[in-house]
């Protein structure tokens, strides 16, 4: 086990001070920080190897192509997948499924199952598609215990063609029973899209073993750069996908009479790709590969559990349960104090938390609240940081509540 102190040294931003106080970054579900290896790799690319990829002869283009494709290999290997399409993030990956698979394989009157726990990025694309194609959307409700109502899911699955489910909720940290969901979906002939934006950073995921058809996630939430993400696809669903965006790199031939497309992932990667980003992401995956993710997860989950207890003791309402596979995310509300005010006061001493609807309004509607304060931990957070957060929160409440 690497000491967290040593692990922190990889992240230059953790030296930052805010208003004269050390940064305590507790907004990791929004985006994670980047280790030096990621920053340096992009730096090195731009300083030494920058070129456009594919179909070129010169040395730099070869290096850039190799760098870009190494990202795809790293993704396939870490997540055990046959096809990894590189996108600009989770959101584009889900939109890609809606356009490339949905529009080609769904039709008037079909049903898609979503859950009330979905992020907007896994709701709005389907609402838009539903409107266009007259498709029924069925939302699996979230129960009082913050889990999905699996009975209603089983009732809703009949006749559904696609199930879109978030692996780990970005508001609650709750990890959904995706193996069970895939099993039920498959029995009923439905495809499954996993929104793994929050799980990819926190778990070891075996895509093939889970048996989902699609899995979407973002680099920036797993120590990688902004502007890049991926969609993993199994072979069966990949073959059913039609091109989404058209342009350079995704074609085989173009004439004024029509075009033919590439056969592999590039078919869905139109235009100059995210080269520097892919090179950075490769390093982020290497960094994650080097971490004992189970031990680190357990450690920060313990901190989250402790934090939940302290917050409850202070009279807060905590939205989360923190089972073993849940993420170290703690959403809470003070009975009277405005959440944004609280976040401003926290920021005054360097504590970065997020407030608001976290892009999950349907979930908040179900919980009958309009937002939460969210603390989300990652592997470079220490228990000491969480303790100092609690101490300062108490000070705030004494002075302001």
Partner 1 sequence: MNYSAELLELIEEFQDIDDKMERLEMVFDLADEVNLLPVEQWCDTTRVQGCQSEAHVKVEVLDSEVNFYAGADSKLVQGLMGILTMAIHGAKADLVLSLTPEFATEMGILNSLSPSRSNGFRNMFDKVMTEVKQQVD
Ligand X SMILES: Cc1ncc(COP(=O)(O)O)c(C=O)c1O
- The footprint of ligand X on residues 218-247 (CB under 6 A) is 218, 229
Tell me the backbone φ, ψ of residue 373, rounded to 5 degrees: -95, 130
The pairing of strands 329-333 and 317-319 is: antiparallel
264 lines the binding site for a copy of itself (CB under 8 A)? no
Residue 166 binding: pick among a copy of itself, partner 1, ligand X, none (C-beta 5-8 Å cut-off by kind): ligand X
**Residue 230: CB minimum distance to partner 1, A:** 22
Within 10-49, the residues that bind ligand X by CB under 6 A are: none
Distance of CA 69 to CAs 63, 141, 166, 296, Å?
10, 40, 28, 29
Burial classification of residue 253, based on how many CB atoms lie within 10 Å of its CB (0-12 exposed, 13-18 middle, 19 or more buried): exposed
Which position among 2, 4, 8, 18 is part of the footprint of a copy of itself (CB under 8 A)?
A: 18
At 330, give phi and psi (nearest 5°).
-125, 110
Which positions from 128 through 187 interact with ligand X, judged by CB under 6 A? 166, 170
Cα–Cα distance, 200 to 224 (Å, whole number): 12
Q: Among 133, 251, 314, 390, which residue sits at the site for a copy of itself (rule: CB under 8 A)?
A: 251
Interacting residues of 363 by C-beta distance below 8 A, sequence separation 6+ = 116, 117, 118, 142, 169, 171, 172
Check if 164 is active-site. no
DSSP string over 189-223: T-EEEEE-TTTTTTS---HHHHT-SEEEEEGGGTT
Q: Which does 95 bind (CB under 5 to 8 A by kind): a copy of itself, partner 1, ligand X, none?
A: a copy of itself
- Per partner kind, with CB cut-offs from 5 to 8 A, the member of ligand X, partner 1, a copy of itself, none near residue 275 is a copy of itself
Nearer to partner 1, 143 or 262 (CB): 262
By CB under 8 A, residue 262 contacts a copy of itself: no
**Three-class secondary structure of residue 86 per DSSP:** strand
Contact residues toward partner 1 (CB under 8 A) are 19, 55-58, 61-62, 65-66, 337-338, 340-341, 343-345, 347-349, 356, 399-400
Catalytic residues, which ones?
A: 359
């Amino acid at each position: 086990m690497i000491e967290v102190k040593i692990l922190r040294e990889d992240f230059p931003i953790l030296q930052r001070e805010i208003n004269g106080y050390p940064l305590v970054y507790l907004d990791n579900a929004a985006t994670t920080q980047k280790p030096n290896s990621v920053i340096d790799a992009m730096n090195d690319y731009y300083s030494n190897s920058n070129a456009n990829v594919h179909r070129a002869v010169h040395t730099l283009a070869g290096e850039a192509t190799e760098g870009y494709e190494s990202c795809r290999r790293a993704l396939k290997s870490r997540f055990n997948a046959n096809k990894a399409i590189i996108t600009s993030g989770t959101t584009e990956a889900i939109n890609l499924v809606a356009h490339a698979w949905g529009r080609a394989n769904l039709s008037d009157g079909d049903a898609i199952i979503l859950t009330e726990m979905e992020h907007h990025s896994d709701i709005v694309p389907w609402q838009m598609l539903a409107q266009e194609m007259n498709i029924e959307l069925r939302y699996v409700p979230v129960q009082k215990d913050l889990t999905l109502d699996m009975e209603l899911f089983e009732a809703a699955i009949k006749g559904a063609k696609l199930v879109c489910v978030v692996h780990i909720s970005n508001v609650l940290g709750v990890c959904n029973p995706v193996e069970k969901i895939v099993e039920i979906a498959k029995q009923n002939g439905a495809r499954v899209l996993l929104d793994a934006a929050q799980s990819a950073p926190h778990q070891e995921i075996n895509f093939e073993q889970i048996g989902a058809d699609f899995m979407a996630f973002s680099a920036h939430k797993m120590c990688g750069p902004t502007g890049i993400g991926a969609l993993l696809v199994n072979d069966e669903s990949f073959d059913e996908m039609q091109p989404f965006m058209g342009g350079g790199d995704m074609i085989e031939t173009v004439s004024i009479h029509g075009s033919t497309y590439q056969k592999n992932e590039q078919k869905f990667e139109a235009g100059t790709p995210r080269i520097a980003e892919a090179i950075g992401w490769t390093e982020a995956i290497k960094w994650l590969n080097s971490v004992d993710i189970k031990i680190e997860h357990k450690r920060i989950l313990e901190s989250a559990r402790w934090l939940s207890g302290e917050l409850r003791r202070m009279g807060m309402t905590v939205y989360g349960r923190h089972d073993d596979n849940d993420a170290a995310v703690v959403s809470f509300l003070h009975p009277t104090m405005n959440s944004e005010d609280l976040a401003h006061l926290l920021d005054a001493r360097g504590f970065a938390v997020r407030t608001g609807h976290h892009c999950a309004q349907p979930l908040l509607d179900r919980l009958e609240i309009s937002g939460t304060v969210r603390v989300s931990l990652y592997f470079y957070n220490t228990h000491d940081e969480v303790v100092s957060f609690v101490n300062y929160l108490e000070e705030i409440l004494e002075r302001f509540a």
